[in-house]
């Protein structure tokens, strides 16, 4: 099969790819932690789309979750049989999305009303992870249309719960013994604007919620209370300084090369300006280089909290929201890494750069299970932002790379 035939067929389906992505964007798939009802509605739309492609087998591996209306979190696997049925190429994408955030910041369109403008499809979930999801489907569809059987079986997994830790998604699937040690795994959930970066390593992730408890009082009589907000601010500032000074190592494999410690969400405390808060809550997002033990980082946080409790009289509670310990990186000479580099080089004339990231993806769970995995896609990195978009050209061009991987 000539590469030119694959390119031509993929480009012919450009409009169909865009329409399928916009259909998915119209259906929110937000985790219950963020006030949503999960992925079931989007999964039904996706199942209908997949039924038209001609996969040999489509399976559901839903995980129970009593917090959502359907009582389940959808996980779908679609198989396209290859000449070698014992070897499988997996492309893992996720159907869940993050909330839209402040909707007034969406100046191009509303989050769930997709719009195609200047070659970009705007909408929440367009790039993260709708673009790659569509590209993986059309990689198979292109081969089907050309009457070509892939060299190996292509398995597309569309998983839930990626944005909140993957307990109901890829972790659930890994427990079912679906995957094998010799599987070839690509997770197109990160990348750069020209597709020249392959991710082989991730930092440890430690999300924390810090609650400071004092005593509520009238703001004109501060001596009668204990301002939990002030203590929280002081603790957060000291914590920020301590973490950056103590855990300051750099590893040039990663971008950025150091650990990151970011105060993020600030919960609402009181309803009036003249009330001293008796309780205050904020969150920290920590992305820690693999050379550091995240549990030691957490111990330092708690030690500093003890100091502040003794000094101020307030109580400080630290709750772990999410923790992912960085597994060993995928070796540079791993077969899937070499195959992907060759596919990119042959289609883009680019020799990809290999490195690590601070963001978390499903690839980390495969690496932990001893299955080499790489992360790659072409994106402008608008995920989680207002006016998130996916370039239609990226839909097409990434699907071409995936088709070549199936034939390599």
Residue 85: pLDDT band (50, 70, 90) is confident
Per-residue model confidence (pLDDT) at position 61: 98
Separation of alpha carbons 1 and 187, rounded Å = 25
Average pLDDT over residues 41-57: 97
Instruction: Report the chain's mean pLDDT, rounded to a whole number.
Output: 96
Query: What are the pLDDT digits (tens) for 105-159?
Result: 999 999 999 999 999 999 999 999 999 999 999 999 999 999 999 999 999 999 9
Instruction: Please report the domains of the chain, with CATH numbers, ordered by start residue.
Output: 3-202+326-407 (3.40.630.10), 204-250+259-324 (3.30.70.360)
Query: What are the pLDDT digits (tens) for 338-395?
Result: 999 999 999 999 999 999 999 889 999 999 999 999 999 999 999 999 999 999 999 9
User: Would the pLDDT of 25 be above 90?
Assistant: yes
DSSP calls for 327-396: -PPPPTT-HHHHHHHHHHHHHH----EEEEESS--THHHHHHTT--EEE--B----TTSTT-EEEHHHHH
Per-residue model confidence (pLDDT) at position 60: 98
Average pLDDT over residues 57-78: 98
User: Would the pLDDT of 17 be above 90?
Assistant: yes
Query: Which residue shows structure tokens 């963001």?
Result: 359
Cβ 372 vs Cβ 117: under 8 Å:
no
- Residues in a beta bridge with 120: 117, 391
Q: Is 238 exposed, middle or buried (0-12, 13-18, 19+ CB in 10 A)?
A: middle
Average pLDDT over residues 304-324: 96
In the residue annotation, 102 being an active-site residue is answered as no
Per-residue model confidence (pLDDT) at position 193: 96
Percent of the chain with pLDDT over 70: 100
Per-residue model confidence (pLDDT) at position 334: 97
Query: What are the pLDDT digits (tens) for 317-354?
Result: 999 998 989 999 999 999 999 999 999 999 999 999 99
Q: Which residues contact 241 (CB under 8 A, 6 or more apart)?
A: none
Per-residue model confidence (pLDDT) at position 359: 83
Query: What are the pLDDT digits (tens) for 150-187?
Result: 999 999 999 999 999 899 999 999 999 999 999 999 99
Per-residue model confidence (pLDDT) at position 2: 86
Q: Which listed residue (9, 62, 65, 96) is catalytic? A: 96
Q: Which listed residue (128, 161, 162, 199) is catalytic? A: 162
Average pLDDT over residues 44-56: 96
In the residue annotation, 271 being an active-site residue is answered as no
Per-residue model confidence (pLDDT) at position 387: 98
């Amino acid at each position: 099969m000539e590469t030119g035939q694959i390119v031509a067929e993929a480009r012919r389906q450009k409009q169909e790819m865009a329409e399928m992505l916009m259909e998915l964007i119209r259906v929110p798939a937000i985790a219950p932690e963020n006030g949503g009802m999960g992925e079931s509605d989007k999964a039904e739309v996706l199942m209908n789309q997949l039924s038209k492609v001609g996969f040999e087998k489509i399976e559901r591996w839903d995980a129970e979750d009593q917090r959502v209306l359907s009582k389940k979190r959808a996980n779908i696997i679609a198989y396209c049989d290859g000449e070698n049925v014992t070897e499988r190429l997996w492309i893992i994408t996720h159907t869940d999305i993050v909330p839209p955030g402040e909707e007034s910041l969406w100046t191009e369109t509303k989050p769930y009303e997709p719009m195609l403008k200047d070659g970009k499809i705007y909408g929440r979930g367009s790039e993260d992870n709708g673009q790659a999801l569509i590209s993986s489907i059309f990689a198979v569809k292109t081969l089907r249309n050309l009457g070509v059987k892939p060299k190996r079986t292509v398995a597309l997994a569309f998983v839930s719960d990626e944005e909140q830790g993957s307990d109901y998604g890829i972790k659930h699937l890994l427990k079912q013994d679906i995957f094998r040690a010799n599987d070839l795994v690509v997770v197109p959930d990160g990348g750069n604007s020209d597709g020249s970066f392959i991710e082989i390593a991730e930092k440890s992730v430690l999300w924390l919620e810090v609650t400071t408890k004092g005593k509520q009082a009238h703001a004109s009589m501060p001596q009668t209370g204990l301002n939990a907000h002030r203590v929280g601010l002081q603790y957060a500032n000291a914590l920020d300084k301590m973490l950056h000074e103590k855990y300051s190592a750099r590893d040039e494999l990663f971008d950025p090369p150091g650990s990151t410690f970011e105060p993020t969400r600030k919960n609402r405390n009181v309803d009036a300006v003249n009330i001293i808060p008796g309780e205050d809550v904020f969150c920290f997002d920590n992305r820690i280089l693999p050379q550091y033990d995240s549990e030691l980082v957490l111990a330092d946080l708690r030690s500093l909290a003890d100091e502040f409790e003794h000094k101020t009289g307030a109580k400080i509670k630290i709750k772990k929201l999410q923790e992912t310990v960085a597994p060993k990186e995928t070796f540079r000479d791993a077969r899937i890494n070499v195959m992907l580099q060759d596919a990119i080089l042959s289609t883009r004339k680019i020799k990809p750069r290999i490195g690590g990231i601070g963001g978390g993806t499903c690839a980390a769970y495969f690496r932990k299970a001893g299955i080499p995995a790489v992360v790659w896609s072409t994106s402008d990195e608008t995920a989680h932002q207002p006016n998130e978009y996916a370039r239609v050209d990226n839909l097409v061009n990434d699907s071409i790379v995936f088709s070549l991987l199936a034939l390599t």
